[in-house]
Structure 1
Amino acid sequence: MTGKPRHIGVAERRARLGLRQRLAGSARAATPEEVADSLVALHGTDPATVYLAVGARLTDGGETVAQVDRALYEDRTLVRMHGMRHTVFVFPTGLAAVVHASTGLDIAAKARAGLVKDMVRGSDGRLTEEWLTEVEASALAALARRGQATVNELTGDEPRLKEQFLYGAGKSYESPQPVSSRLMRVLGVEGRVVRGRPLGSWTSSQFRWAVAPPHPHLPPAEARSELLGRWLTACGPATEADLKWWTGWKVTDVRRTLAAIGAVAVSLDDGLTGYVAAGDEGPVAGPEAPWAALLPGLDPTPMSRQERDWYLDPSLQPALFDRSGNVGPTVWWDGRVVGGWAQRPDGEMVWRLLDTGGVGSEARAAISAEAERLQAWVGRTRVTPRFRTPLERELSAE
């Protein structure tokens, strides 16, 4: 008879988080590639998040920008592409095929169908699916010749990209849309193009496009097993709700994949059931010392789960999240969120504790040291989160 599932309490969950998310001092990484491989995915909607998330986890954050630029744009060991929930992430390049097959195919099919429908309807049939196929082939050929290009540069090579159609005709949100912007997004979710170098600094949200590196086509079920196994190793234990939220899959796909990889059920606090990767159900010792971290808005650690009460007091959420559920900059102490941070207009990093329980002089000193470390490598660069939260706004205005 099967025994009672092992219980993994809050203390062990926080220990796993500190070690596997590369946040504890002894677990920090030497390269951006190690960070990305450990976390599976770095949230890329806000370009600065990638650099700040990596810098928080490197043994020496001083060369963060140069190292991440090298990985993204020279060695191509990291790639910025659409992934789970139609969101932009940065992945290890070797994981691109897995992400595309496990989460991108359904999204891509819907995105293309939506574009064709809106384009044909919004142009009274003037722009057709056949026309779009011809234009995108021409645009991709131009992009391959250039290596990297902005949309404006591509429209110089293929003027038909400038064509517009009326989106939402007769609706309150009616507006003209250029074919170029919608088409490049569709090609992105199809895994045919990826973001290239930004037009400005590492905080810029304007990117060039590049043809995606070739990758094998994997069976979706196989890809889902690979992705979920990696994620559980990095983030487990996790509930079904966590897994469904992070992947964007149907709950039936989540359950089917958990069974396929032999995930092990464990009990969590509050009567919840969680899952860990096969062979990972044994006890995990905590880090050698408590740790502090300043994580950016949209950091993958706080954003990777739907169930957050074990590391984030619900009373803190109104100050640290925006109305759409995007987390802002957070201050961590030994496995839980205790406050937030921001950058003032003059560049100074400031932070505030919101939960002072168990946060003594040792914690305050460690948090101050992390703020100084962040300040040192960011330098004069001004970083404003793309999704601003109440506490971040308040601190940055002081």
Structure 2
Amino acid sequence: MTGKPRHIGVAERRARLGLRQRLAGAARGTTPEEVADSLVALHGTDPATVYLAVGARLADAGETVAQVERALYEDRSLVRMHGMRHTVFVFPSALAAVVHASTALDIAAKARAGLVKDMTARSGGRLTEAWLDEVEASALAALARRGQATVNELTGDEPRLKEQFPYAAGKSYEGVHTVSSRLMRVLGVEGRVVRGRPLGSWTSSQFRWAIAPPYPELPPAEARSELLNRWLMACGPATEADLKWWTGWKVTDVRRALAASGAVAVSLDDGLTGYVAAGDDGPVEEPGAPWAALLPALDPAPMSRPERDWFLEPSLRPALFDRSGNVGPTVWWDGRVVGGWAQRPDGEIVWRLPAGQDVGREARDAIAAEAERLRAWVGETRITPRFRTPLERELSAE
């Protein structure tokens, strides 16, 4: 007979977060690769998030931009690709094949079928699947010749990429899709193309494209088990709902991966059942001194799960999230969110702790030190999150 599952309370969950996600002072990393490996995935929808999330977790953040650029574009030890929930992430390159097999293949099949359906039905039969195959082969050949190219450069080589077709006719959000934008997205999810260097600075969202190296073929079930195990080591304990949301998998796939990975059930507050990786159900050591952090919009820590009450009071959500559920810049103190921050046009980093979050002098001094550390390494760059939130807008305009 097995005993009762071990209980992991809020204090231990916060300690795990500080240690595993390299936010506690003694746990900070030395390289972007080390940080990315600890987090499994860096949210890449907003390019600045990747750099800011890494810089917040480095012991010495002074060379963050140069280090991340080298990892992404020279060493290729980090790769920017579509993954869970059809979202762009930055992963350790060694994990790319796992993400591709566990998650991207299913998304890619649906994305391609959706493109063919929309394009053929809404172009009056003018644009067919055979036509798309021909345009796709031509575009990939042009990209291979160039090495790297923007979409505009590719449309110069293959003008048919400019073809358009309507979508959502009669709806409030109706518009026009261009073949190039939909096709490059599909090819990205399929792992056939990858984003290269941006056209501008590290905050730019205009990327070049390049032919992706082929991924080793892995059994999807095996890949799902490995990805889930890695994520539980970084973010566990987590509920089934957390895992289903983060991966975008069916609940049956989540349960099979939990069983295959040997994940261990633990009890959480409010009577919930959570899971940790096999062998990780013992107590963790304390992070040491209390820690402060200024994390960017879409940072992996708050965006890793839908259930956040154990580190973020519900009263703070309206100020820190947009209407679509995207988190803005957050201020953390010892494992919980206590406020938000923003950058003003003159470069100053400003922060605020809403009413009820008076955490004491030690915390305020530590937060102020993190704000100054961030300002120092960001330098002359100005950062505006892609998804603006109420408190970020208010602070940046002061």
With the length of structure 2 as denominator, give the TM-score of the two structures.
0.98
Quick check: 1:121 aligned with 2:127? no
Aligned length: 398
**2:60, 2:145 → 1: CA distance?**
38
Structure 1 residue 393, shift from structure 2 partner:
0.6
Q: Which whole-Å CA distance do the structure 2 matches of 1:97 and 1:128 have between them? A: 31
1:247 corresponds to 2:247? yes
- Aligned twin of 2:308: 308
How far residue 212 of structure 1 moved from its aligned partner, in angstroms, is 1.2
Amino acid at match of 1:346: D
Counterpart-to-counterpart distance in 1, 2:173 and 2:391: 31
SS of 1:16's equivalent in the other structure is helix
1:195, CA displacement in angstroms? 1.1
Tell me the residue number matched to 2:231. 231
Q: Secondary structure at the match of 1:94?
A: helix
| Amino acid in the other structure paired with 2:187 | L
- Aligned partners of 2:170 and 2:241: how far apart in 1? 38
List gaps (5 residues or longer) in structure 2. none
Q: Superposition pairs for residues 42-121 of structure 1, below 5 Å?
A: 42-121=42-121
1:188-199 to structure 2, matched below 5 A, reads 188-199=188-199
Indicate conservation of the 8 Å contact 1:263/1:275, yes or no: yes
Question: Are 1:122 and 1:169, in contact at CA under 8 Å, matched by a contact in 2?
Answer: no
Contact 2:40 2:231 in 1 (8 A): yes
Residue in 1 that maps onto 2:154: 154
Q: Deviations over 1:272-305 (max 9, x none)?
A: 1100001000000111111000000000000001
2:388 corresponds to? 388
> Are residues 1:295 and 2:288 paired?
no
Counterpart contact for 2:98–2:218, Cα < 8 Å: yes
- Provide the residue aligned with 1:201 in structure 2: 201
Give the distance between the partners of 1:373 and 1:241, measured in 2 at CA: 36
Aligned to 1:317: 317
CA distance in 1, matches of 2:223, 2:39: 17
SS of match in other structure, 2:284: coil
Cα root mean square deviation, aligned: 1.1
Instruction: Tell me what 1:32 maps to.
Output: 32
Superposed displacement of residue 211, structure 1: 1.1
The range that moved more, 213-222 or 171-180, is 171-180
Q: Residue type matched to 2:275 in 1?
A: Y
Is 2:339–2:352's contact at 8 Å kept on the other side of the alignment? Answer: yes
- 1:285 equivalent in alignment to 2:285: yes
Question: Which residue of 2 is the match for residue 364 of structure 1?
Answer: 364
Whole-angstrom CA distance in 2 between matches of 1:363 and 1:356: 14
Greater mean alpha carbon deviation, residues 349-358 or residues 37-46: 349-358
Alignment-mate amino acid for residue 359 of structure 2: V
1:195-239 residue CA offsets vs partner (Å, 9 max, x unmatched): 111111111111111111221011110110010000000100001
Residue 194 of structure 1 aligns with an amino acid whose one-letter code is: V
Q: Which residue of 2 aligns with 1:397?
A: 397
Greater shift, 159-168 or 211-220, is seen at 159-168
1:96, distance to aligned residue in structure 2 (A)? 0.8
What percent of counterpart residues are identical? 87
Superposition map of 1:140-179 within 5 A: 140-179=140-179
Amino acid at match of 2:396: S
Q: Partner of 2:337 in structure 1?
A: 337
CA distance in 2, matches of 1:26, 1:344: 30
Closer/same/farther in 2, CA of residues 235 and 185 from structure 1, 3 Å limit = same
For residues 321-371 of structure 1, the C-alpha deviation after alignment (integer angstroms, 9 at most, x for no partner) is 011000000000000001100011111000011265571111111101100
1:28-77 deviation per Cα after TM superposition (whole angstroms, max 9, x unaligned): 00100001000000000000000000000011101000000000011111
Corresponding letter in the other structure for 1:133: D
Q: Once the two structures are superposed, what CA deviation does each residue of 1:375-395 show, in whole Å capped at 9, x if it has no partner?
A: 000111110011111110111
Q: Is the 8 A contact 1:80 1:91 kept in 2?
A: yes
Deviation at 1:94, TM superposition (A): 1.1
